Amino acid sequence: MMKGKRLIWLLAGIAVVTALIEIAGLGMASIWPSVAALLLVFTTRNVLMGLLGGALIGTVLLVDGQLWLVPLQLVERHLLPNFGSSWKSGAILFTLILGGFVHLLERGGVLQALLTRLLHGRSKRKVEAGAGLFGLVCFFDGLANSLMVGRLFQPLAANAGVSRVRLAYIVDTTSAAVACLAFISTWIAYQLAMIREGFILAGQEANAEPYHLFFASLPHNYYAWFALLLMGFAIWKQWNFGPMKAAEETQPDSGGIDLPEEAFKGALWRAWIPVAALLAIIFVGIYTDGVHRAGKALLPLTFDKLAMSFAEANVPAILIIGSAVGALLAWWFLPRSVLKKGETGGGVFMEGMIQLFQPVLILIMAWMLSSTLKDLQAADYLGELLGDRIPVSLFPLAVFLTGSLVAFTTGTSWGTMGLLMPLAIPLGFSISGGDYAEGMRVMPMVVGAVFSGAVFGDHCSPISDTTIVSSMACGIDPMDHVRTQLPYALLAAMAAATLGFLGVGILGGPAWASPLAALVFAAMLVVFSSIWGEKASKA
User: What is the pLDDT, as a whole number, of residue 84?
Assistant: 78
Q: Kindly state the helix (H) or strand (E) to which residue 239 belongs, with its residue range.
A: strand 239-240
Q: By the 8 A CB rule, do 148 and 95 touch?
A: no
What is the tens place of the pLDDT at every residue in 489-508? 999 999 999 999 998 888 87
**What's the CA gap between 330 and 42, in Å, rounded?**
39
User: What is the pLDDT, as a whole number, of residue 223?
Assistant: 95
Q: Supply the mean pLDDT for the chain.
A: 78
**What's the CA gap between 89 and 317, in Å, rounded?**
10
Of these ranges, 43-47, 81-85, 129-133, the one predicted with the greatest mean pLDDT is 129-133
**What's the CA gap between 230 and 233, in Å, rounded?**
5
Q: Which residues contact 266 (CB under 8 A, 6 or more apart)?
A: 108, 109, 110, 113, 335
User: What is the pLDDT, as a whole number, of residue 121?
Assistant: 54
User: What is the pLDDT, as a whole number, of residue 66?
Assistant: 79
Alpha helix stretches (DSSP H) within 122-217 = 124-137, 142-160, 164-173, 176-181, 188-201, 210-217
Residue type, 1: M
pTM: 0.68
Task: Return the half-sphere exposure (C-beta side, CA atoms, 13 A cut-off) of residue 302.
Answer: 8
What is the tens place of the pLDDT at every residue in 128-166? 888 888 888 776 666 667 877 887 788 778 777 788 889
Residue 447's pLDDT band (cuts 50, 70, 90) = very high
User: What is the pLDDT, as a whole number, of residue 385?
Assistant: 55
The crossing angle, in degrees rounded to 10, of helices 357-375 and 395-410 is 130
User: What is the pLDDT, as a whole number, of residue 456?
Assistant: 92
**What's the CA gap between 173 and 459, in Å, rounded?**
7
Residue 2's pLDDT band (cuts 50, 70, 90) = very low
Q: What are phi and psi of 432, to 5 degrees?
A: -90, 15
Q: Kindly state the helix (H) or strand (E) to which residue 535 belongs, with its residue range.
A: strand 534-535
Q: By the 8 A CB rule, do 229 and 520 touch?
A: no
**Secondary structure letter of residue 159 according to DSSP:** H
What is the tens place of the pLDDT at every residue in 333-385? 887 766 777 777 788 888 888 877 776 787 688 778 777 877 777 656 655 65
